A = this chain, B = another copy of it.
């Protein structure tokens, strides 16, 4: 029973996410956001609260749409070992193709250390990733497609560490051979033992 909003909230959030993703949190001004989202500062503040709340909203959406959706897709369509392999392949491919890197990793380094609420959100998502790897490893170890001699928990932790590291390396030195070589060795932990 009043004037409706003149903008598409989803499109606006996508535009804002791209700003934060490209430039980082601090380097993105509210004016930049307004311009990209196609709305003035008052509308922005009215609809999304302040800059920090908007960022949290964008980060949540990003993680749901990218990370969680990807985990679900891989875990439901591929056997566990292939799911792990595909995940790492996708991280390498995306790292090389998209100069923005991964918003989760960017945030873990830029925002989390100075913001307890964001740090908790990031830590939760990292645990979800670790859980994905751990589930795949456990199932794969039981069905014999993954070497069972290593503790699944620690291998999952190394895989998580590896994708973080790949994302960092790619942003300063995006060399395919480097990323692919590292990923290959991380995945070799899944192989059964070979003679020396």
The CA of A123 and the CA of B171, in the complex, are separated in Å by 10
A1 CB-CB contact with B under 8 Å: no
Residue from B27, B168, B188 in contact with A168 in the complex, judged by beta carbons closer than 8 Å = B168
Complex contact A166–B161 (CB within 8 A): yes
The count of identical subunits is 2
Interchain CA distance A149-B185 in the complex, whole Å: 12
CA–CA, A158 to B108, complex, Å?
21
Interface residues of A (CB under 8 A from B): 23-24, 26-27, 99, 101, 105-106, 108-110, 112-114, 119, 122-123, 126-127, 130, 147-151, 153-155, 157-158, 160-169, 171-173, 178-179, 181-182, 184-186, 188-189, 192-196
Residue contact B189 to A149, C-beta cutoff 8 Å:
no
- Chain A interface SS verdict (over half): helix
Q: How far is the CA of A99 from the CA of B115 in the complex (A)?
A: 13
In the complex, given contacts A99-B113, A105-B168, A108-B172, what are 17 additional A-B residue pairs having Cβ atoms less than 8 angstroms apart? A101-B109, A108-B169, A112-B172, A113-B171, A113-B172, A126-B169, A127-B173, A149-B195, A149-B196, A150-B185, A153-B181, A154-B184, A157-B178, A160-B182, A161-B162, A165-B166, A193-B196
Given contacts A108-B172, A112-B172, A169-B126, contact A182 B161 (CB under 8 A): yes
